[in-house]
Amino acid sequence: MRRRAAFRGALSLDELAGLLGAGSVRPDVLSVDVFDTVLTRACGEPFDLFHWLGRRLRQRGVLTVDAEVFARARVAAERAVWRRDGGLDSHAGLGEFYEETVHRLGMDPSLVTSMVEAELELEAEISRPVPAAKWLLKLCVEQKQKIVFTSDTYFPRAFIESRLQTAGVFSSNARCLLSSELAESKASGRLFTRMLTDGQPASGVLHVGDHPHSDVAMPIKTGMHARWIPDGRLNRYEKSLATSSYGTAGLGSAFAGASRLARLSTDAGNPHERAIRDVAAGVAAPALVGYVLWILLRAQRLSLRRVVFLARDGQVILDIARRLVKALDLPIELTYLYVSRRSTNLAATFGATEEETGWVFRDLSVLSPDEVLDRFDLQWDDVRHLLSVDRTVTRPVSGAAVGEAMREHLKYDGPVRQMVLDRAAARRELVLDYLKQDGLLDGEPYGIVDFGGVGSQVRAVHALVSAAGAAPPRIFMMGLDRPEDAGLVTPDDEPAWVRDTECYLYDHRRGRGIRRARGFGTCVQMFCAADHGTVVGYGRENGRVIPELATPSDDATMSWGLLTMRAAIANFVDNLVLNEDLVDPYADVRDASCDVLEMFWTSPSAGEAGAWGSFPFEGAQASGSAPRPLAYRYTWRTVGSEIASGRFPNLGWQHWYEGSLALSSPLVRSAVERAETMYRRFEHTDKPGVSALIGTVRRLAGR
């Protein structure tokens, strides 16, 4: 082997294969760690398997204690046996562990053998190959590279070799060195010394693995070369998900395992794509999959045989649902409905009430006069003689002025209000034909799914179906905001559509659920990005109603990396363990999902901030100007300018404050964080001088 530094930092299996293929690295022997390097598990932490095993054994009638009690006893028993018998440098194995486990639980000793077999069965069931390992080992076989698989494990040789063979990574030129067989471990270095007993020089051995001590420090101490391969280790999101295992009937651990497998199996060719992939697998997928599992549970309990997902947020949710329905074998039909506020809401205007038309007036500050009128299917010439707004070439008028004028006219009977109602009726005919064509007026019970907000889009669909005389749908939303949060008026009586609405995370309108965290809506809008443009209307073609899209493809989002995000989410679902004897597929994972979402939003890495901060956020495009990224690098000049204008820190939904900090220089970031800390410390002080200063800061910061 060419002489090189013994350790040169972290490496991926793909990168190692590239070095071997290019001849940059030519070891006489390639020593490869097994677990979390070439094999991994579909659960989170290794000991989570015991929780799953406890659930299975309890269902089989073997256990009378709770699965968590069994799992904790199994962990404690293993720890006690290791301490008693000499740790990894001993022959202690599953038999000894289960003898101690049944003793601690007061169970029949005759159960030891069946418990050992059950653990081996489950380990084999949830064992998965690391995808890149197949390519690496295939290359090694082609190059006739000597391979030694090493592991500090209590599993017997036959079991390890069978797992490697099943994974397609074991070849005739490979052998195994296992602590369970030799009573010598990597952790102590004795297993590496054993590798050299046949005269192999240490300098000719390259060892790779995921553990900094056992797979890096100890082989280097023996004189070998070593490279750290950490990809198979749980990342921070996966660790957080795994900690929820007991509180989620095992599902949190399944989420952690699915996230890791999605991350390892989704192609990502550069740091930008890797940041998209990792967040999609560790944050987006848990949030969305938890939501869809809840929808499917509610649909079953309400005897709904059909669930309809509204464009465009529903596109990725529909794909998730299709995969889950197949995995769970559920008799639920899933469809996609092309609707939008622009295409559908006007049609659901029957009296031009504030609730019906409020969606138009939410965005007045970023709409032009023509855009405001277009939402009513009107043009300037239709209303110029009716509105008390003077608009000329030399005296342009703002969208806000036109919007407020329209709002006033809609409060009473008159030509403007009647014109809006006429336009609504004309649009309604086509929209109802589309809903009928898609079976929404058949009278069969079904549910509709949207992300959230104030609910103007689901309200419109609900109202249109009801007006047609059909049974209105049940409504499922991630969350529902209060109308007043969007500058709208809350009606005195609860509308029918609200009574038919259920929310997964929060219902601020009725004071239920969690408090919506800052950044939540922004994150979910990114996670639910569609590959097509918004629906602008409908047309007739060959006797059918065809949705008309602003653009057939959302090129900006596709260029950003939408396919990478979608692939990671799909791989998460496909690798998710949902066996009901191991986990509860409908367990409550709300808190676990919210924890990783908050972790991402409030403490992103620079790579995550760069990738996700460059997302072409649609909200930022509403003004018609060039979209500004969600996150950008702060400089002394930009910070000073924004403080002076009262816009710092910008905590609005179209800006990512923490992401911008992560992209900024350490000096600027440190100064801003210190100022924020000082502000928080004195925010509620009673000292007159400091109170005045804090008041100034609040005004400057827009708080």
pLDDT at residue 456 in the model: 93
The H or E element spanning position 226 is strand 225-228
Q: How many CB atoms lie within 10 A of CB 543?
A: 6
CA 312/CA 341 separation, integer angstroms: 11
Name the residue type at position 672: V
pTM: predicted TM-score of the whole model, two decimal places: 0.92
What are the residue ranges spanned by the domains of the chain?
13-38+130-233, 48-125, 601-701
> How many C-beta neighbours within 10 Å does residue 511 have?
8
Which class is domain 13-38+130-233? alpha beta
Report the DSSP pairing between strands 205-209 and 333-337: unpaired
Q: For the CA atoms of the chain, what is the radius of gyration?
A: 30
Residues of the chain whose pLDDT is less than 50?
1-5, 620-626, 698-703
Asked whether the beta carbons of 136 and 37 are under 8 A apart, the reply is: no
Structure tokens at 80: 């006690």
Please tell me what DSSP assigns to residue 435.
H
Q: Please, what's the b/e burial string for 97-136 (b: 16 or more CB within 10 A of its CB; e: otherwise)?
A: bbbbbbebbebeeebbeebbebbeebbeebbbbbbbbbbb
DSSP-derived letter for residue 189 is S
Residue with tokens 């409550």: 588
Alpha helical stretches, state H, 27-171: 48-59, 67-85, 94-105, 112-126, 131-142, 157-167
Quote the CA–CA distance of 48 and 222 in Å, as a whole number: 33
Residues near 371 by beta carbon (within 8 Å), at least 6 away in sequence: 399
Q: What is the pLDDT of residue 110?
A: 96
How far is it, in rounded angstroms, from Cα 68 to Cα 49?
11
Is there a contact between 333 and 307 (Cβ–Cβ < 8 Å)? yes
Residue ranges of the alpha helices (H) in 143-284? 157-167, 179-182, 190-195, 218-222, 236-242, 251-265, 271-279
d(CA 566, CA 318): 12
Q: Are 243 and 110 in contact (CB under 8 A)?
A: no
**pLDDT value, residue 702:** 39
pLDDT of residue 22: 85
What is the distance between the alpha carbons of residues 401 and 290, in angstroms, rounded to a whole number?
A: 43
